[in-house]
Amino acid sequence: MEPYHYISSDVLDLHIIYNIIKENKKLELSEEARANIEKSRNYLDEKVKKNEKPIYGINTGFGSLCNVKISAENLTELQENLVMSHACGTGDLVAKPIIKLMLFLKIQSLSYGHSGIALQTVERLIEFYNRDILPVIYEQGSLGASGDLAPLAHLALPLIGKGEVYFEDKIVEGGEILKQFNWEPLKLRSKEGLALLNGTQFMSAHGVYALLKAYKLCYLADLVGAISIDAFDCNMSPFDELVHMVRPHRGQIKTAERLREFLAGSEIAVKEKETVQDPYSFRCIPQVHGATKDTLSFVRKTFKTEINSVSDNPNIFIDANKIISGGNFHGQSLALGLDFLAIAMAEIGNISERRIYQLVSGLRGLPTFLVENPGLNSGFMIPQYTAASIVSQNKLYANPSSTDSIVSSNGQEDHVSMGANGATKILKVLDNLSTILSIELFNASQALYFREPSRTSSILQKVIGDFRKRVPLIMEDQVMAVHIKNAKSFIDSFEIKEDLLFD
């Protein structure tokens, strides 16, 4: 029997989502969630019957058409038209793991009973999630305010038998997948289309996915940085706990602690040094990596709040007998968080490239470009060029999206977050960072060879031993792209215990 995660009001956090993904848990509504959804829907149905006044999104048009009242017999058509007309996505396809997260987070948000969604609709979304029926969604189209309208429209299309889905490694028409499972297309009731489309689940899913990768890359940056410290024959004094306790930023303290753990028992680390100080890219790893860790903590808190929230509009409050049109769909907090995360992770790549540069410079007893016969061999000259090129690209990607806004919906939606652009950019920053750290590990492991017979710590020896199974020592020039690719594969597949990952 497969494990289940019960959708409820219990607080979601990154480590919970990590385990849901890792254990491939299926979703099921708790009794609490079912009751919340049904109460909200019943309240809305009664309100529509008794109230002839226009209620935004329920019996009116949308955006700047908010003052156009729609008759009761046209409410289903109104919602289906909304889904179809807003499915304007374009560009690259969103990755399947992110689509699955979008489904999960949309289900979670609808479960609180403030959206007026029908239970059948939520149950169909859960069927999609549990059976890996993943709507085809495009990266471009959302302004990150009014919700992630275009991508969430594509998420909703298959519910009414339209659009496309991924199923069993194929792209299948929305109508075909319904037939395959003997499901009728849903007839969306009042507000349901708006509940599905309004929301921040495109940004949220990207942010959660990015945070999971970012925590892993922060750990690996410390690990690879520790190898570089020994490879460059650095002093250990900058990592002394006393230094960091007088400037006690949590990330800084944690980074220095990790470096000491990684380098414990290193013969190279305890040897007397000829140099008194090391370049900032080594000496200030705790301060730079630590600042990124602190940014991750802030961004994690932002996204934790968001994934435990209701972000569609209008919101239904049964106890207060109110249906309120507000602005919880606006993604400004997420947009800023995604931009901060991109800047922070780009900086990890920036300082990594500086260590790569130092390692090939012929300093500290290392041969120029890390080969024994430089001149005849170019050695590790050009991997540094590659890293520099990627770092430069990340600097462009780290330019914020949230400082831009373009008026939409005929002036009704006159300030938007552009957080969806930040969401897609952060994935590029993280993939680039993975490559930069791969090149640093490639260089640092080569440099350590020239420190023999002195040895690094047992922890780092084990890492390098595993790395050597994929990437050899380079004694003379070879096609380096192959080794960089294998180094990146090593970084991407590196497994870290959960208690270390989110520490």
Please tell me whether residue 160 adopts helix, strand or coil conformation.
Answer: helix
Lookup result for tokens 């990952």: 501
C-alpha triplet 74, 77, 81: angle, nearest 5° = 135
Q: How far apart are CA 268 and CA 230, in angstroms?
A: 6
C-beta of residue 105 within 8 angstroms of C-beta of residue 307? yes
CB neighbour class for 422 (10 Å; exposed up to 12, middle 13-18, buried from 19)? buried
C-beta of residue 349 within 8 angstroms of C-beta of residue 391? yes
Q: CA separation (Å) from 113 to 25, 79, 104, 308?
A: 23, 19, 16, 13
CB neighbour class for 243 (10 Å; exposed up to 12, middle 13-18, buried from 19)? middle
Please tell me whether residue 167 adopts helix, strand or coil conformation.
Answer: strand
Q: How far apart are CA 193 and CA 176, in angstroms?
A: 21
Q: Pick the catalytic residue: 43, 56, 357, 449? A: 56
C-beta of residue 457 within 8 angstroms of C-beta of residue 483? no
Between strands 4-7 and 90-93, the pairing is: unpaired
Can 56 be counted among the known catalytic residues?
yes
Bin 265: left if φ > 0, else alpha if -120 < ψ < 50, else beta.
left
Q: How far apart are CA 279 and CA 263, in angstroms?
A: 18
Tell me the torsion sign for CA atoms 395, 298, 433, 199. Answer: negative
C-beta of residue 239 within 8 angstroms of C-beta of residue 286? yes
Please tell me whether residue 287 adopts helix, strand or coil conformation.
Answer: helix
Please tell me whether residue 324 adopts helix, strand or coil conformation.
Answer: strand
Please tell me whether residue 135 adopts helix, strand or coil conformation.
Answer: strand
Q: How far apart are CA 107 and CA 112, in angstroms?
A: 9
Please tell me whether residue 367 adopts helix, strand or coil conformation.
Answer: coil
Task: Give the catalytic positions in this structure.
Answer: 56
